């Protein structure tokens, strides 16, 4: 069976432990993923990523997401939902798995996979949305973070130079 999934690969100029911390700690998430979050690194722990902190509860982003599994510093998995703009499929959860491989002491290869889409045609728009969101925003922002330091959420940043680093696999 060929399951529909979003998959990317990117090489980052950072040690594997540093990339691990970016995904699995509140300080790390705030440095590239979102301006607010709640991270509890334990199976079933919170992995809430808030993009729109001025919106009411339930409309702020990746709310009520949880940690599924992890093996420090090489694998991290969590649930994910659709943005509030895709209300019809917002309650459908997918699974994101991040796998990290040390290339050397200052370089890490990241494998990204989001699955759980199935064949439901209602999820097509969500699938297309996240191909763009992960591949052209989140992962390039991660590369930006390691090249330039943490994202300043009050400033617009140019992610174009970092998009070629992200490869579909």
124 within some domain: yes
- Domain CATH number, residue 119: 3.30.530.20
Domain that holds residue 56: 6-168
Number of folded domains that form the chain: 1
Nearest to 110 by CA among 119, 118, 97, 101: 101
98 within some domain: yes
Residue matched to tokens 């191909």:
131
Q: What is the pTM of this model?
A: 0.94
Per-residue pLDDT of the chain (169 residues; tens, 9 = 90+): 578 999 999 999 999 999 999 999 999 999 999 999 999 999 999 999 999 888 888 888 899 999 999 999 999 999 999 999 998 998 999 999 999 999 999 999 999 999 998 777 788 999 999 999 999 999 999 999 999 999 999 999 999 999 999 999 8
Beta partners for residue 96, in sequence order:
78, 114
Residues comprising the chain, all counted: 169
1 within some domain: no
16 within some domain: yes
Structure tokens at 118: 């199935």
pLDDT for the residue numbered 117 = 87
């Amino acid at each position: 069976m060929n399951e529909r999934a979003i998959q990317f690969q990117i090489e980052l100029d950072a040690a594997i432990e540093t990339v691990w911390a970016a995904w699995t700690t509140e300080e790390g998430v705030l440095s590239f993923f979102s301006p607010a979050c709640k991270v509890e690194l334990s199976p079933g722990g919170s992995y809430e990523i808030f993009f729109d902190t001025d919106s009411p509860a339930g409309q702020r982003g990746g709310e009520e997401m949880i940690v599924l599994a992890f093996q420090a510093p090489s694998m991290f998995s969590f649930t994910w939902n659709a943005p509030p703009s895709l209300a019809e499929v917002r309650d459908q959860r997918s699974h994101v798995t991040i796998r990290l491989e040390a290339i050397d002491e200052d370089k890490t290869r990241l494998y990204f996979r989001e699955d759980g889409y199935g064949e439901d045609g209602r999820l097509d728009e969500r699938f297309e949305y996240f191909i763009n969101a992960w591949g052209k925003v989140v992962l390039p922002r991660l590369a930006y973070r390691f090249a330039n330091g943490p994202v300043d959420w009050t400033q617009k940043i140019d992610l174009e130079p970092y998009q070629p680093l992200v490869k579909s696999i």
